[in-house]
Structure 1
Amino acid sequence: MSNAVSALQGKVAPGEVTIREAGLRGMIILRGDLADKKLHNICKSLTGVSMPKQGQAHTDADKGLCWMSPDEVLVLVPYAHVTEASAAIEAGLAGTHYLAENVSDARSVLHVEGRFGREVIAKLAPVDVHPSSFQPGDFRRSRLGQVAAAFWMRDADTIDVICFRSVAGYTFDLLAASAKAGQVGHLNAAG
């Protein structure tokens, strides 16, 4: 049996804004009735966070829930617990119409860390990331350059990005180039 490795094996591009691969992350796409109490309960028991509203992510360290669409959440758990979490979803939602799929090995997570991280994203995504529109806990599905991506603000200086594993190198390099180009200055918190 082979050992699992992340797409970029911990690659880091240091700077005023550091781009860092998060390593292996447990991710389960869960589709169903997001108003269902059973679904809420199993999600809360696995992650310790409440169900997010549209356009939100509730995360705590390596656990969390990200709103993906009106009938879909992304369940984040430690990579070592994803099989156990998938089994818990199956048991907890038995008799309910749902779909759960472990996508851990098909996705990569990158951290954008630094005081002008939102500008790094703004240069690449057709999304309003001004502080008046994008705050910690906010989640967006969009693209970075020409690749599909989702991202959320973990805190005022950290944005987490999810992309397909097959484009993790490209996405990393794109974010690193945007960070290296420096601050534009249009998205300051007072602005």
Structure 2
Amino acid sequence: YGGHGYIEEWGMSQFTRDARIAMIYEGANGVQALDLVGRKLAQDGGKHVMAFFELVKTFLKENEGNEALKADFLDPLKAASKDLQASAMFFMQNGMKNPNAALAGSYDFMHLFGHVCLGLMWARMAKAAHAALDAGTSDEAFYKTKLATGRFYMKRRLPATALHLARIQSGADTVMALEAEAF
């Protein structure tokens, strides 16, 4: 659109508004994050989050000998999964004695968890793409593009898990530093 901008005529302004509002269609992200950390993480003794960790671990173990996946997909997924596990451990160790620590890190945890989920999905898609290419697919360009897009995610987006972990581990002191009257 260049200098034309987002005008009503093209409908682009509606897409822009929709993209922004999408975050609250099913409830505010902050509320969802608080629910995830405050209730879902420890639900049933943490067995659900542990099952997810096991799902990722199993995928990594089943594919550890796949050199086509190792550097571009498995190694980044493993690092991100470790960040997720470290953040869950932080909440287990600090959340009960200082609920503010859990609350302050909940939004980052939700995003970290989402990144790991997407990383797992990209690794699965990469495995399927390599299998299709090895089998001699008729749509080689599609699968090569799928791999290139997956590599982009794994190299450029998935490393955000380290940032989210650092923010979680910083605790609540800086978040809670101001008195309510300061607002």
Question: If the length of structure 1 is used for normalisation, what is the TM-score?
Answer: 0.26
Q: Could you say which structure has the higher strand fraction? A: 1
Choose between structure 1 and 2 for higher RCO, CA contacts under 8 A separated by at least 6 residues. Answer: 2
Higher radius of gyration, 1 or 2 = 2
Q: Could you say which structure has the higher helix fraction? A: 2
Question: If the length of structure 2 is used for normalisation, what is the TM-score?
Answer: 0.27
